[in-house]
Amino acid sequence: MGEQTDRPSDVASAVDELTRRGFPENLRVADGSLQVVRTGERLRPEDLVIRAYYRFEGVSDPDDLAIVYGIESKSGPRGVLVDAFGVYADPALSAVLQDVPIRPTAP
C-alpha cells in the first residue's frame, strides 16, 4: 500500500520523510475532525485521503507500536499524523480515519 521497500527505520525518520515529500503540517484530532496545528484549520474526514503511511512494530518494546500517516485534504493542507496502534491506539483518531480512503502516491 503506502509503505515503501526502503522505508524509514523509526517514527522520527518517517515524519522527516513525509515532510520532505510535501506533508509539512502537523495534524491532530479535534472534535471528530483533524486540525492543522499551526493554523487551527479543521479538516473533515470526508475531505481527507491517506497518501502514505508507515507502521512501526516494537520488537522488544510494545510501547513502540506506531503508525505515521501522510494525509492530504481536498481544501489544500497536507500533513503528518502519528498514532499508536493496538491497545494504545487513540479511539478518537480511529473514528476520524475509519472511512478515509488510502490512495498512495509515489515517493
pLDDT tens sequence across 45-57: 999 999 999 998 8
Cell of 74: 481536498
Q: Let me know: does 42 contact 30? Beta carbons within 8 Å.
A: yes
Domain residue ranges of the chain, discontinuous segments joined by +: 11-97
Sheet holding 78-84, edge to edge: 42-43, 33-36, 25-30, 78-84, 66-73, 48-56
- Reported as half-sphere exposure (CB side, CA atoms, 13 A), residue 98 has a value of 8
Instruction: Find where cell 470526508 sits.
Output: 46
> What's the pLDDT tens digit per position in 26-49?
999 999 999 999 999 999 999 999
pLDDT by residue (tens digit) across 80-105? 999 987 777 888 999 999 999 999 98
Which 3 state secondary structure label does DSSP give 82? strand
